[in-house]
A and B are shown apart, each in its own frame.
Chain A
Amino acid sequence: MAILELHDVSKHFGDKSVLNGLDFSVPEGSIFGFVGENGVGKTTTMKMILGLETIYSGSILIDEKQVHYGDSIANKVVGYLPDVPEYYGYMTPIEYLTLCGRITGMDSGLLKTRINEMLKTVDLPIDKHRIHGFSRGMKQRLGIAQALLNEPKLLICDEPTSALDPIGRSEFLNLLASLRGKTTIVFSTHILTDVERIADRVGILHDGVLKANDSLANLKQQFAKPQIVLTFASKDDATQAGIVLGNNIQIADKKVILNYTGKFETVAEVILSSLLKEHLIPTSMNGQDTTLEDIFMEVTTS
């Protein structure tokens, strides 16, 4: 069952059309990676899902309830983590989370327990330190705590890892992965390896429509483009090798990149014998699987 459904959603900013009939759904319990170039409309889509942005046409359903701009009914089952969360610096994390919890209608007894749990989860001190003294990473962690406070059915994260250092990013991704099956997660990012690491499904937004929306495995099958990368000692050797290996290759400095189909070992054997015949010996040879970046490039440039 889908917890989030977008039906033919369009959005214009003045004369500029941002989204044209966006249509997709996110199954309950899944982690949905939402990728696209800068300014393509990812944040706008997320804000429309949250009722923070008007919808030009179409409809959005969360847990079978329609989202209306400015409406708060659907929002109570949704957690939101903006890319740069802003807080009231004069509050302590406990006071801020208490305000958030009360607005979402949480029971005060449960709220106290959840606040302690969440602060421990995100490793923030349970004391009277005020938020204005927090680092960016600490603010991001508080953002996670507030987003997950009411155990939302749907968690929306807008470029959540952009402000985190590598360790913080890894911890955050582990935290998201640990929610798999319990909370449906939609997260946008530019870091495609993050999506590859934890997402079950990937949506690629381009030119206002979702150009691809499937599981990563299916997308890899659909856009499969395995490559062999050969590295040579000199640029001249690489150019020579390029002539020997013929079409369907790219030469980049000392590297020769070949697209292939079929079994790696068979193709590698043919390539190596052709090169040895011409006394060209590569310093390295690697087989590369299709990455999300390859799929992204394929989808957005086709």
Chain B
Amino acid sequence: MISTWYFIRKEVMEAWRNYHILMITIVFVIFGISSPLFAKLTPEILKMASGSGMTIKMPDPTSVDSWQQYFKNIIQIGIYVLTVIFSSTISNEISRGTLVNLVAKGLPRYAIVLSKYIVAYAQWCLAVLIAFLISWGYTLYYFPDSKSPNVWTGVWPLLVFGLMFVAVTVFGSTLGKSNYLGFLASVIVFIILTLLNLFKDIKKYNPIALVTDNMSLVKGTENISHIMPAIWITIVLALVTVYLSVLVLKQKKL
């Protein structure tokens, strides 16, 4: 296991020196600032866009609009930005041959998968939490209401969803030498989960619930226990996917 620790340190250095952490920080700080700001400015923008001849009556924006914007940004753009960054995590090393020396020295292949998974997931958490904390601060400043009482309950399913989504990206990147396989695998899985959501009976078991039911959790109209089966299934799927990644990498020619 000590090799895993050394490789984690290498991965952190790589993420830092290749500017991945910087890119993630910039993108998600922007999300954090823009989510409440857009919620605040949307009525004004619509008023200006409608021209002088029309009068649009818009309800005053609330913290709910701000959080809605936050989850929209993260789920519709943010997770794909992260997936693109992690997409080549293993495939790039295989295609360049950088693992040969280290594996020949005794680095276990499971350590490679675990380290890459842990560091990628840490970056996922960093991204989600940076945007969340900034968004939280600005939301409290712009909308000091009590319409969003459970913001933490709404955000942590997103962190749990990351466990599986990052695992799928890492798995995809073990499949071949192409840098896009990780991204492709994640997109395919996301589409499949979205389609599965069409079946009412399996909705509460579907991991996609972790990124679709967040607003109900934030507003307090839904309890976390409602998506608990989906949380457990997501965790199990994440573990299985990481295990499969190790098996695939063990068979890979370096």
Q: Which of A76, A90, A91, A100 contacts B101 (CB 8 A)?
A: A100
Which of B10, B98, B101 has the largest count of A CB atoms less than 10 A from its CB?
B101
In the bound complex, CA of A53 to CA of B103 (Å): 11
A interface majority secondary structure: loop
Which A residues are in CB contact (< 8 Å) with B6? 99, 102-103
In the bound complex, CA of A189 to CA of B253 (Å): 22
- Asked if A86 and B98 sit within 8 Å, CB to CB, the answer is yes
In the bound complex, CA of A150 to CA of B105 (Å): 10
- Asked if A88 and B10 sit within 8 Å, CB to CB, the answer is yes
- Asked if A76 and B254 sit within 8 Å, CB to CB, the answer is no
- Asked if B100 and A90 sit within 8 Å, CB to CB, the answer is no
B240 near A: Cβ within 8 Å? Answer: no
In the bound complex, CA of A61 to CA of B156 (Å): 51
In the bound complex, CA of A104 to CA of B3 (Å): 9
Task: Scan residues 81-131 of chain A and give those whose CB is less than 8 A from a CB of chain B.
Answer: 82, 84-88, 90-91, 95, 99-100, 102-105
A274 near B: Cβ within 8 Å? Answer: no
Number of A-B contacts (CB under 8 A): 69
B43 near A: Cβ within 8 Å? Answer: no
Task: Scan residues 66-109 of chain B and give those whose CB is less than 8 A from a CB of chain A.
Answer: 96-98, 100-109
Which A residues are in CB contact (< 8 Å) with B3? 102-103
- Asked if A52 and B10 sit within 8 Å, CB to CB, the answer is no
Q: Which of A53, A80, A82, A88 contacts B14 (CB 8 A)?
A: A88
Task: Scan residues 129-179 of chain A and give those whose CB is less than 8 A from a CB of chain B.
Answer: 143, 146, 150
A27 near B: Cβ within 8 Å? Answer: no
- Asked if A100 and B105 sit within 8 Å, CB to CB, the answer is yes
In the bound complex, CA of A100 to CA of B7 (Å): 10
In the bound complex, CA of A92 to CA of B184 (Å): 33
In the bound complex, CA of A253 to CA of B6 (Å): 63
- Asked if B13 and A95 sit within 8 Å, CB to CB, the answer is yes
Chain A nearest CB, measured from B193 CB (Å): 33
A181 near B: Cβ within 8 Å? Answer: no
Nearest-CB residue, chain A, relative to B108: A72
Task: Scan residues 200-253 of chain B and give those whose CB is less than 8 A from a CB of chain A.
Answer: 250, 253
Which A residues are in CB contact (< 8 Å) with B50? none
A75 near B: Cβ within 8 Å? Answer: yes
In the bound complex, CA of A72 to CA of B105 (Å): 7
Which B residues are in CB contact (< 8 Å) with A85? 101
Nearest-CB residue, chain A, relative to B109: A70
- Asked if B17 and A52 sit within 8 Å, CB to CB, the answer is no
Which B residues are in CB contact (< 8 Å) with A78? 104
In the bound complex, CA of A76 to CA of B107 (Å): 10
Nearest-CB residue, chain B, relative to A82: B100
Contact A90/B106 with A52-B100, A99-B6, A146-B101 known, Cβ cut-off 8 Å: no
Chain B nearest CB, measured from A13 CB (Å): 10
Which A residues are in CB contact (< 8 Å) with B104? 50-52, 75, 78, 80
Nearest-CB residue, chain A, relative to B16: A90
Which B residues are in CB contact (< 8 Å) with A91? 13
B18 near A: Cβ within 8 Å? Answer: yes
In the bound complex, CA of A88 to CA of B6 (Å): 14
- Asked if B100 and A100 sit within 8 Å, CB to CB, the answer is no
Which of B14, B97, B106 has the largest count of A CB atoms less than 10 A from its CB?
B106
Which B residues are in CB contact (< 8 Å) with A70? 108-109, 250
In the bound complex, CA of A147 to CA of B50 (Å): 70
In the bound complex, CA of A257 to CA of B108 (Å): 56
In the assembled complex, 9 residue pairs joining A and B whose CB atoms fall closer than 8 Å, in A order, are A52-B253, A72-B106, A78-B104, A85-B101, A86-B100, A87-B101, A90-B13, A90-B17, A103-B107
Besides the contacts A80-B105, A105-B106, what 10 more A-B pairs have beta carbons closer than 8 Å?
A51-B104, A72-B107, A75-B103, A85-B101, A86-B98, A90-B17, A90-B18, A95-B13, A103-B6, A104-B106
List of 4 A-B pairs having minimum Cβ-Cβ separation, nearest first: A72-B106, A90-B17, A80-B104, A86-B97
